[in-house]
Chain A
């Protein structure tokens, strides 16, 4: 009996060692798990081309949101990959938005042109939307509208957060590998299958 228990214990150790690293690797860098499943904070902002855009306008779509600023190196590194993602997924019910925090329209417009992004870039000049998206307790020493700079989210068709990461530059994911994988899962769940052209 004791011998059998010992074998079971050793087997469980081997199993745990095999599974634990894989499970850890699956967690997206900077994942803010506490917010997953919550209602995404609403916003209504003006785009660089002057259109009023509310998050609720995209109800029924999967919305990828990136909070950024033109001066943010991480945001700049992600921009071409966001554009690539937009081109790959736009016909499949996915909307990409960038919310630029705390910058004047002309600066953001120049950034959007230079970056070649074709999805809506929204102006959160006073940082109100960014503050609403800053989880309580996350990076408490930062001004609240700066907490979400370089973060990414996916809002599902009903307005719930299904992916939300804050910046983790030690495991920075400029190519949006984790976000794209989550997007593929969500599209697969909806019967739309994985991306035909592959992940961007």
Chain B
């Protein structure tokens, strides 16, 4: 079962997300949660994997809490972006992109409400500048049955 986390603008950030509606899961249940992010107009972020070793790939990490474990995120296919005169394409995302994360609720997870916290790390550029690597906090409310 896939749940879609919707998106909202976060003041001041180049990348924004909207907190997901509360997700209900039973003990031992697995589900994929889909986080939707939006890159501000005119900007792009490095995809995952990034095109070169030292570029900062956009990566989502959810921290284990309340007996809920997150698996490796599944990232979307990148767009190719060629810098004028560069020898190779960059792999980027712009506009709206989604990252799916598999979750599994443990056998002894406490019943009730829980907040799963995570971080989206990214590095963005627009047509005039490249911003330093930064991150966005994400929160996923879960109700464990």
Q: Please determine whether A149 and B130 come into contact, CB atoms closer than 8 angstroms.
A: yes
From A80, A114, A143, A167, residue with most partner B Cβ within 10 Å? A167
CA gap between A156 and B37 in the complex, in Å: 47
CA gap between A73 and B47 in the complex, in Å: 12
**The residue from A114, A169, A177 contacting B125, defined by CB atoms under 8 A apart:** A169
Closest A residue to B86 by CB, please name it: A77
Closest B residue to A166 by CB, please name it: B128
For window 88-145 of B, CB contacts with A under 8 Å fall at 90, 123, 125-133
CA gap between A114 and B24 in the complex, in Å: 47
| Interface size, B (range) | 20 to 34
A146-B131, A167-B130 given as contacts; is B54 within 8 A of A173 (CB)?
A: no
A71-B123, A76-B52, A111-B54 given as contacts; is B132 within 8 A of A172 (CB)?
A: no
Say yes or no: is A142 at the interface (Cβ < 8 Å to chain B).
yes
15 contacts between A and B (CB under 8 A): A71-B54, A71-B130, A72-B130, A73-B52, A73-B83, A73-B90, A73-B125, A77-B86, A77-B87, A114-B54, A142-B129, A167-B128, A167-B129, A168-B127, A174-B84
CA gap between A69 and B56 in the complex, in Å: 11
Quick one: CB contact mask for A121-153 with B, threshold 8 Å, 1 for yes?
A: 000000000000000000100110011011000
Q: Which residues of A contact B46 (CB under 8 A)?
A: 73
Q: Please determine whether B86 and A172 come into contact, CB atoms closer than 8 angstroms.
A: yes
A-B contact sample (18 more), CB < 8 A, given A69-B130, A71-B132, A73-B52? A69-B132, A71-B54, A73-B55, A74-B83, A76-B54, A77-B87, A102-B132, A111-B54, A146-B129, A149-B129, A167-B130, A169-B83, A169-B125, A169-B127, A169-B128, A170-B127, A173-B84, A174-B86
Q: Please determine whether B130 and A150 come into contact, CB atoms closer than 8 angstroms.
A: yes
Quick one: CB contact mask for B42-55 with A, threshold 8 Å, 1 for yes?
A: 00001000011111
Q: Which residues of B contact A76 (CB under 8 A)?
A: 52, 54-55
Q: Which residue numbers of B lie inside 8 Å of A, CB to CB?
A: 46, 51-56, 83-87, 90, 123, 125-133
Closest A residue to B84 by CB, please name it: A172
Q: Which residues of B contact A69 (CB under 8 A)?
A: 130, 132
Q: Please determine whether A70 and B54 come into contact, CB atoms closer than 8 angstroms.
A: yes
For window 147-187 of A, CB contacts with B under 8 Å fall at 147, 149-150, 166-175, 177
From A114, A139, A174, residue with most partner B Cβ within 10 Å? A174
Q: Which residues of B contact A174 (CB under 8 A)?
A: 83-87
